[in-house]
Structure 1
Amino acid sequence: MQVNPIQLFDAESSTYTYILSAPDGSGAAIIDPVDRHLARDMAHIARLGLQLTHVLETHAHADHVTSAGRLRAMTGAKACVPSGCGIPPAEVQLEDGDLLRFGAREHIAVIHTPGHTAGSMCYLWRGNLFSGDTLLVDGCGRTDFQGGSAADLYDSVTRKLFTLDERTRVWPGHDYQGQSVSTIGWEKRHNARLAHRSRDEFVTLMAALELPRPRLMDVALPANRKLGLAHGI
């Protein structure tokens, strides 16, 4: 039985949020929720008759504030975060290879993919990869702060993500070009930053990007390390 994630978008930060639901409706998980869309996300959960049991973060975000803490308080869901991201209020500190179980028979596989940040994680569920900022459609996340490393990101993508079944659907954490989903096979062959580049070539490319500092970084990072419960936005 094919079960598709619900993909929701925040236009201000170009962030995707995902809701995953068990086919029998017995449980649900949300990935990378955005604080300003708390009401929207709760409305989706209520409309579909879902019981939210897990709130997942792919990393500590620098461009928006999470609603993880508020969702946990409203629903009783567990907050689940990468153990290397410094988010101590979350009760579940994830490690590479963990399995998160929800609903009657669902599970999410946890894949540690350092590079965008030192603690970044991707999540695999029913042939769907939620790749955060590690792998974007035709791109990848920046690697110049939060313990980021272009060399580590290259290894994470080529040695872990690109070894998945090529039919695996890639659901990115962000998109700035109107793209919503891809596949591992397409990204292996066509990704503008990673395909057909050596590790050294990729490191050189990323070092030359000179990207601007995220506008909300000084607010978002401290807030997200507290599951979004203390911020001034």
Structure 2
Amino acid sequence: MTRRTAAHPDLTRTDVAAPFFSTWRVGTPERQRQAVEAIARAWERRPWPGEGLQAYHVYTGHDGETLMHHSRWVSEQAYEAFSKTRRQERVDEIDTAVPDIERLGLHRYRYHRSRERAAGDERTPGLIVTVRIGFEEAAAGRRADWIDLVLKALADEPAEHRGLIAAHFHLSTDGSHVLNYAEWESAPAYDEALAAPGRGIGAATELWERVRTYPGVTGFTGSRYDHALGLVPS
């Protein structure tokens, strides 16, 4: 069967070969809450899809309009089998409870590398920040090099921001972008990092300038989320 968990996903697990992210637009904070509960009911009433799915997590956007979904599959084939046989009944139940959900698309990824949490750091993230970094088609093969440069820039910063717990970088399978899923202690800690020129995240260093001006990067889009629901096999 299926059970809820308050635990955040471990994005460094090696048994998840197909991490997926998708976004729904539901319109209001109240509909965000209703949709999360509808998802929980639709899943808890049914058997877990099987060993092909390691976990499914839902996040509420700070914009008050969106939900982010993160499903962790052992393979794309496992997802395709679920989609053909078990997905639609869940979708129908959710749409009956919360009509007119706008589904903005599913994106498939491969996990690449992380700035992992420090040894002994047991903090639960109070904020999830996702940053989508677009790349020109001709630069798709250099995305891993860009991630490696970011991690080096983080390691060489003159003043570490302790509010950053971890950051996990994923390569989209279509070659179009990188997704950074960053775990922060809290929204104020993230705001402090953004408001601190010359230190911490994005400091005025040569490495960060190379990150920002890397050839082939087309732009950055960031979003803030709260972890709202975790579903795992019971």
Same fold judged by TM-score > 0.5?
A: no
Structure with higher helix content: 2
From the CA coordinates, give the structure whose radius of gyration is larger.
2
Structure with higher strand content: 2
What's the TM-score, normalizing by structure 1?
A: 0.28
Greater RCO structure (CA 8 Å; 6+ sep): 2
What's the TM-score, normalizing by structure 2?
A: 0.28
